[in-house]
Amino acid sequence: MGRHNDKSIKEVLGEYIQTNKRVSKGYHTAQIEEIWKEQMGPIISGYTQKIYFNDGILRVYLTSAPLKKELLMGKTKIIQIINEAVKEELITQVEIY
């Protein structure tokens, strides 16, 4: 007797995350926060107050004005780094506050 619809847990969770917008938003935000800490390092992460992700827009709140100015010039690089890390074109725009 054969089974029908055999799927791995990874496949089932992936489908659930894709179909549930609310879960997807939270999952991607947590994923992006981890990537931010890894890729930006402890110094930039230390100045990062909050990170929000919604509808392709990454909003980063910093506590350092000079760092804010520096990151504003590298927005396209930030998009590239994070999208490569998640292996998906999640981020289309970065706003730094």
Per domain, the residue ranges of the chain are 9-96
Higher-scoring residue by pLDDT: 16, 82: 82
- Per-residue pLDDT band for 21 (boundaries 50, 70, 90) equals confident
Residue 45: burial class (beta carbons within 10 Å; 0-12, 13-18, 19+): middle
Contact indicator for 8, 26 with CB cutoff of 8 Å: no
In angstroms, the CA 12 to CA 65 distance is 43
| Mean pLDDT score across all residues of the chain | 89
Please tell me the predicted confidence (pLDDT) of residue 48. 96
Among 88, 79, 85, 81, smallest CA distance to 96 is for: 79
The model carries a pTM of 0.79
4 pLDDT above the threshold of 70: no
Tokens at 89, concatenated: 């074109």
3 pLDDT above the threshold of 70: no
Sort residue 3 into left (φ over 0), alpha (ψ -120 to 50) or beta: beta
Segment 32-68, tens digit of pLDDT? 999 999 999 999 999 999 999 988 999 999 999 999 9
Contact indicator for 53, 59 with CB cutoff of 8 Å: yes
Let me know if domain 9-96 sits in CATH 3.30.300: yes
